[in-house]
Structure 1
Amino acid sequence: MPGTPGTPGTPGTRPFTRRGLALLATALSGLLLTLLPGPASAAPAAFTHPGVLVSQAQLDFTRAKVQAGTQPWKNAYDQMMASSYASLSRTPAPRSVVECGSYSNPNYGCTDERQDAIAAYTDALAWYITRDSRYAVKAIQIMDAWSAVITDHTNSNAPLQTGWAGSVWPRAAEIIRYTYTSWPNVSRFATMLRNVYLPEVINGSNSNGNWELSMMEAAVGISVFLDDKTDYDKAVTRYLNRVQAYIYLDTDGSLPKTVPGSGLDTSSEIIGYWQGQSTFVTGLTQETCRDFTHTGYGISAISHVAETSRIQGVDLYPQVGERLRQALGFQSKYQLGTAVPSWLCGGSLTLGLGPVTEVGFNAMHNRLGYAMTNTQTLTEQQRPAGTNSLFVAWETLTHAGNPS
C-alpha cells in the first residue's frame, strides 16, 4: 500500500494552529505541483542563448562571486581549475565510431568522449569567469576535433553514452557560441549534434529510467542549440511522462505510474521493474533499490531539464518539482546514514548518490522556498560538488545559491 508505514491517522477536530495551517499550505502546494497539466507547447517563441543548464544571468552571478572571493563559489572554482579538465595542454581524443558495451565494456572511445565533453564545458566556464581567451580556444579545439571525426555510437550502451556526452556538449557550445568572438566551425558542430547525437536519443528508451532521462536531457539541450522547436517539444513530452514514472508520490495510487508504451501492464511487472520493491512511498524512485548511483543519474537529469526549460521561459517545476523535491529528500536521508527499514529494498541500500543535489536544491529550496533539511545537509557536506566524470560537473560553482 502507498504511504509510509506507521503514519498516524487523520487528526481530529482540534483547531488548526498557525504551524498546522502552514503545513497544510505546504501539502496543498505540493499536491498542486503534481496535478497541474504540462504546457501545450514547451518550446519558447524564441530560444534564449546561452540557455542550456546555465543562463547569462547565472554565469554573471557566478563570475561576480568568484571575483569577489566569496564562498562556496571560490573554492568550487579553484577545484575546477585544479582539475585535469581545465588543463590547457589537454589533447582531445576523437573517434569516428564510439563503441560502448554494457558498463562501457568494451570501451572504445567512451571515456574519452565523455571526458572531452566535460573538458570543453570546463574550459567554457573558465573562459567566461576569467575572460582568458586561451580557455575559449581550448574549448573550441576540443569541440572541433570531435565534430570533424565522429559519425556514430554503437553497441548496447550507445543510447546512454550518446545521452551523457550529448548532455554536456551543448552546455559548452552555448557558452562559446554566444559569449566568445569567433568559432568558424560552429556549423559543423551543429551538424554533428543534428546527425550523430539527436537521432540516437530523441525516441527515448524503455530501459531503466535514468537512461531515458539522460537521453531527454541531451535532446533538450541539443534542441536549444539548434533552435529546434519540434524536437524540443517532443523531448519535453517524453521527459514529463518519464519523471512521473520514475519518482513515486502517494497521490499516484497503489502502484507507480508507467510510461505509455512501456509494456508494464501488471502489478508483478511493475514491481519487477522497480527492482522488486512492493511497498511504495513518496520519494522512492524506480532505481532506489538498484543503487543510489544510478538513481542520482536520474535525479540529476530531471533537475537539468527543468533548469534548461526555466531558462527558456516555460517553467516545468509545477509538473516535476514536487517529485524532484521528494526524491532528493528521500535519498538524502539514507545517504546521510538513516537506518534502512526492513520494508525498503529488503533492508539494504547501495549508497553513492554523487554530486547531484545542487541544482534541484537551489531550485526548490532557494528559489521556491521549500524546507529541505536532509537535502540541505547533504548538499552542504558535499561542497564543492565536482564531477561524476559522466555528465555532472561543477554545480556548486554554477548553481549554489544562484537566484537568477
Structure 2
Amino acid sequence: MSRSRLRGRIPRLIALGALLAATAVVVPYAAPGTSSPAQAAPATFTHPGVLVSRPQLDFIRSRVNAGAQPWRGAYDQMMASNFASLSRTPKPRAVVECGSYSNPNNGCTDERQDALAAYTLALAWYITQDSRYAEKAIQIMDAWSAVIQDHTNSNAPLQTAWAGSSWPRAAEIIRYTYGGWSSTGVNRFATMLRNVYLPEIVNGNMTSNGNWELSMMEAALGISVFLEDRGVYDRALAKFRDRLPAFLYLTTDGAYPRGPVGSHIDTRAEVVSYWHDQATFVDGLSQETCRDFTHTGYGISAISHVAETLRHQGQDIYPEIQDRLRHALGLHARYELGDPVPSSICGGSLTLGLGPVTEVAFNALNFRRGVPMTRTQQLTEQQRPAGTNYLFVAWETLTHASNPY
C-alpha cells in the first residue's frame, strides 16, 4: 500500500478501534411520543445467522430435493448461473477503486460478483452436500482475504457495503456447516472484514441517499455476527433504527419526514429537496421514490436483510417496522405493476425497476406474520424465481419463499 493510502486509512482505523473499545449501548433515535429502546447484542450469537439460518437452509434443501416449486425452479436458476460455476477464477485486487456509477471501475464488478459467487456456492454446498462447492467458496474467500487492502474513490462506501453484505453470508454458511475451512483462512478472512471493510462503513453516511447508509448497516451487522462483535452490532442496529424513518415515511411521523439523524436536513424545504423534490408525503413513500425505483429497491432490500439477520439473532424487529415496510412494499408494487401514477407522486412520472427485492419482507410479513399484502404478493409471484441484481441481492425465492423459519 502506498504511504498516501496508508495515511488515509489511519484515521479510519483509529476511529474503529475507539468504537470497538466502547462498551456502552448506543440508544437509537425515538421520535416524540414513541418508544424505541436499544437492544443489546445477543450474549450468544447464532450461526449461521446472516440473512439465512440453519433451519431455513434445511427447509430449502428439503423442498429442492422434493422437487417442490417454486424452490426447485429457483435452485435450477441459481445453479445455471455463472456464480455457481466450479471453474470460476477469483479476481482479487489490493485496491478496489470505484467512482460514481462505477466510473472508474477498477475491480468493483469483480469484487461484488466474487462475493456473490461465494454466497451462491455456499448455498449450493448446503443443498447438495457436494464438497466441491464449499471448496470453491473457500478458494474465492481466501483469494480476496490474502490480497485486498482498501477501497477508494467516491463510491468506496457503497462498494464496501455491497460486497461486505455478501461476504459474511457466505462465510457463515461455510464456517459453521462445513469442516474444511482452515483456521488460518477463517482468521485471515475475519481480519479482512475488520480492517478493510468495517472502517469504511461502520460510521455510516448520513447525507447520502438513504440506500447507502442502509446497505452500510446491513454489511456492518452481518460482519458483526461473523466477528461476534457486540459493539459493532449495537452500533449498526442503532444507526439502522435512526435511518429507517428518514427513508420510509408514515403519516404518523408528522406532516413531513425528518432528515437523517445528525444531518443538517431538518426544515420542510430541505426535506423536500432531499426527497428529490417530492412535496406530498403518503404512507410508504421512500426518500428515493422520485429518484428511481431501483435505488429505492436497494434500500428496501437492505432493510429486510437487516431485519432477517436480527431475527436470527433473537431480536425480532419486524413488529416495530411492520407498518412502515408493508406500506412501502405496497406502494411501490402498485406502480411497478402498472397502476396509474397520480400527479401528486413525483409529478405523475416514475422510473420503475424495483428489482428482485420483495421476497424476504413478503415472507416475513405475509407468510410468517399474516399481514395482508395483495399487490406485493402479486408482484412477488410475478417475478419468481427472483434472481440477482448482481450487487448484493441473490436467489431470494430460493431462500425465503414461504420459509417458515
Give the Å deviation of 1:333. 0.3
1:214 aligns with 215
1:303 aligns with 304
Contact 1:100 1:155 survives alignment (8 Å):
yes
1:377 aligns with 378
1:106 alignment partner, one of 90, 104, 109: 104
Where does 1:222-237 land on structure 2 (aligned, <5 Å)? 222-237=223-238
Pair 1:364-2:362 in alignment: no
* Equivalent position SS for 1:279: coil
2:8 aligns with none
Distance (whole Å) between structure 2 residues aligned to residue 39 and residue 125 of structure 1: 35
Give the Å deviation of 1:42. 3.7
Give the Å deviation of 1:266. 1.4
Contact 1:100 1:157 survives alignment (8 Å):
yes
Percent identity reads 73
Q: Which amino acid aligns with 1:276?
A: D
2:116 aligns with 118
Contact 2:201 2:216 survives alignment (8 Å):
yes
Contact 1:38 1:316 survives alignment (8 Å):
no
Give the Å deviation of 1:112. 0.1
Where does 1:172-321 land on structure 2 (aligned, <5 Å)? 172-184=170-182, 185-205=185-205, 206-321=207-322
* Equivalent position SS for 2:96: strand
Contact 1:240 1:320 survives alignment (8 Å):
no
Unaligned runs of 5+ in 2: 1-31
1:28 aligns with none
Pair 1:338-2:336 in alignment: no
Give the Å deviation of 1:35. 7.8
Contact 1:73 1:396 survives alignment (8 Å):
yes
* Equivalent position SS for 1:204: coil
Unaligned runs of 5+ in 1: 1-33
Distance (whole Å) between structure 1 residues aligned to residue 244 and residue 261 of structure 2: 12
Distance (whole Å) between structure 1 residues aligned to residue 39 and residue 388 of structure 2: 33
Give the Å deviation of 1:172. 0.1
The structure 1 segments of at least 4 consecutive aligned residues displaced by more than 2 Å after TM superposition are: 34-42
Contact 1:36 1:318 survives alignment (8 Å):
no
Give the Å deviation of 1:141. 0.2
Give the Å deviation of 1:36. 6.4
Distance (whole Å) between structure 2 residues aligned to residue 42 and residue 113 of structure 1: 32
| TM-score of the superposed pair, with normalisation by structure 2 | 0.90
Q: Which amino acid aligns with 1:329?
A: G
* CA root-mean-square deviation: 1.0
Contact 2:243 2:261 survives alignment (8 Å):
no
Q: How many residues align?
A: 371
Contact 1:120 1:140 survives alignment (8 Å):
yes
Q: Which amino acid aligns with 2:273?
A: G
* Equivalent position SS for 2:116: helix
1:159 alignment partner, one of 146, 157, 160: 157
1:27 aligns with none
Distance 1:35 1:323, change over 3 A: farther
User: What whole-Å deviation, never above 9, does each CA across 1:95-138 have from its counterpart, x for those lacking one?
Assistant: 00000000000000000000000000000000000000000000
* Equivalent position SS for 1:38: coil
